[in-house]
Structure 1
């Protein structure tokens, strides 16, 4: 039985989470939105190890909301707290304001996934993710994270439409390799990180694959105009779908961020790069992240000129971090080409799902990933790896 046959069970589980998510109220313990944070709760979370430190006041500085509520919170400490270096500003990410947003976050377990990452995995990393000060989780997409405010360290963030410099592409290869090395084939994956799902078992996976198939059909039927290499890829991904998923689930495994598009990355003032929004972290192959970031986020000419060097930097950094990897650059590049297909499938779904990203961002990502598919004969790479795995 293939995963397609289990779509009904997947849908029923999601339906239960959806009902809790759209409910205007569910029982909870502790704050689930920035406006609900009590001074006493925050002081306990941030200053329990600093005798005499007192949080005098808090103030909402500003923020925005979308799939989650995002606010900056100003903190005023007494002199002991200031001398201890306790933060004067924190970033609070919390429960989506609208039922429609909770309906996306809840059934896909995006909120609980991110809280789990910060509770169990974050402390193994360096600057690959923001620091976490406090977390809370409830039912139906209710959650709260108190994170480091990266603007305090001169952080630069990106939209998907931005032109990333080569320095950031290099920084991301180092950041991704550092992340993956920390959990590469690690016993942690079966112990404290056992909550990480394999791709096939991620919430909503079966339903999302059905949507992918439906949107791919537009290219197969000629309803979407695209280069022949792009249409061939849509055809190959549909014809060999079960086998493609099986190849994607092969090892070596590590913790993967899951959504390494340019808009989820940043540069600190010291030049180091990192990742935001860990809502779909799961267990999988590291080269998936490299291909997704490069294929959708790297300016086309920079990718063409430097992608092999950047891939080599990723592999070199893995080895420097202690990973024993028997993989030469040519084989790594073939795997990279295979994983570009995932990036294409992700972008073609997002551009057809109105409201997930701005049109400008989608147009730029679509242009980049299609160029990669054409340049590198990605359809042939997918078919080659599938047949090799038989």
Structure 2
């Protein structure tokens, strides 16, 4: 039913009838009697990057299930073009097909739909602000305990799908694809190439950071291809896929959760770990603590039931290799308008510094 809905791209299009139809798939018997918009953010506003978001207060109709939240966050297409459709479809699939079985700290969903013809989508989520959540970014001081908490959530996710045949062709989660196959991979590895080169050519700090690494856009792209081909031969799991610190949240007790599932796919466990640790800590803190944090994560992976946990040595090498993706895809793809100047520069700075510290170019050359 939801797939046939005309999904909104602005707050004005979210009506009680529409929201009732969308939510009914996840919450049988629900009806929405009234909606009032609290906040609406579109592309370029307050860290809105690939999707807009609308916060609404709702009044439920008589007979609706009890204990539903009266404030909801609705993610919608940013209304620019259809190029981001694979991201939207992927995240809708995650919330409809994966989220219900997860025991991981990530937002609850109350309905999600994607329309392939229009490329529009909507996902109805809990408002994490009601639980006192805060949303860190690369400028925020993040404690080591909070990083460990987020790593624990990653370990839960990874353990749940460790070497799981459901992720392979023929399995019910094969739609996730991988870093080398599927709609999201095609968009990131082929569709994004002109955008990345445009960023390098036109944004001076990006151009000179690439020059500082003694590399080029095409060389970084080739290195990313080599990384993905290599890591597809290693143990696979379901990864969040875009696990920089800005895609997390912290609860009042300091524990953390995972946000934004647009890039989720089958991949290598260090993909999530490397991106989180590198983006969440200052250069000095990352240098001092990254090995201990990787060991902590591997211990949590074992505690969650993975019996063939890779060694620290091999995992830490892959941690360093994953920085190739972080530099090329993670932030060279991101225009300054998405997050603002300082956040953009700081992410590049942390990632390229780690790239040098780990001699990622050499690690990639070993497998190219």
Q: What TM-score, normalized by structure 1, do the two folds share?
A: 0.78
Give deviations 1:58-115, integer Å, cap 9, x for gaps. 2111131113221111122478768x2121111111132x3xx334423xx1111110
- Deviation (angstroms), 1:163: 2.8
Contact 1:92 1:146 in 2 (8 A): yes
Helix, strand or coil: the match of 1:185? coil
The aligned runs of 1:163-178 (5 Å cut-off) are 163-178=141-156
Helix, strand or coil: the match of 2:124? strand
Other-structure match for 1:20: none
- Deviation (angstroms), 1:118: 0.6
- Deviation (angstroms), 1:312: 1.0
- Deviation (angstroms), 1:269: 2.6
Other-structure match for 1:265: 248
Q: Are positions 1:359 and 2:341 aligned together?
A: yes
For 2:210 and 2:40, locate their aligned partners in 1 and report how far apart those are by CA, in whole Å. Answer: 39
Other-structure match for 2:190: 206
For 1:361 and 1:198, locate their aligned partners in 2 and report how far apart those are by CA, in whole Å. Answer: 28
For 1:238 and 1:50, locate their aligned partners in 2 and report how far apart those are by CA, in whole Å. Answer: 46
For 1:163 and 1:329, locate their aligned partners in 2 and report how far apart those are by CA, in whole Å. Answer: 27
Q: Are positions 1:195 and 2:175 aligned together?
A: yes
Q: Are positions 1:136 and 2:113 aligned together?
A: yes
For 1:134 and 1:239, locate their aligned partners in 2 and report how far apart those are by CA, in whole Å. Answer: 39
Task: Flag the structure with larger Rg.
Answer: 1
Q: Rate the CA distance shift 1:127–1:73 in 2: closer, same or farther, 3 A.
A: farther
- Deviation (angstroms), 1:350: 3.1
Other-structure match for 2:228: 245
RMSD: 3.2
For 1:152 and 1:130, locate their aligned partners in 2 and report how far apart those are by CA, in whole Å. Answer: 12
Select which of 5, 8, 25 maps to 1:32: 8
Where do 5+ consecutive residues of structure 2 fail to align? 44-49
Contact 2:224 2:328 in 1 (8 A): no
Q: Rate the CA distance shift 1:303–1:56 in 2: closer, same or farther, 3 A.
A: same
- Deviation (angstroms), 1:193: 1.0
Contact 1:251 1:285 in 2 (8 A): yes
Other-structure match for 1:161: 139
Contact 2:26 2:110 in 1 (8 A): no
The aligned runs of 1:87-126 (5 Å cut-off) are 87-96=69-78, 98=79, 101-106=80-85, 109-126=86-103
Contact 2:107 2:125 in 1 (8 A): yes
Where do 5+ consecutive residues of structure 1 fail to align? 1-26
- Deviation (angstroms), 1:361: 0.7
Q: Are positions 1:371 and 2:361 aligned together?
A: no
- Deviation (angstroms), 1:371: 2.0
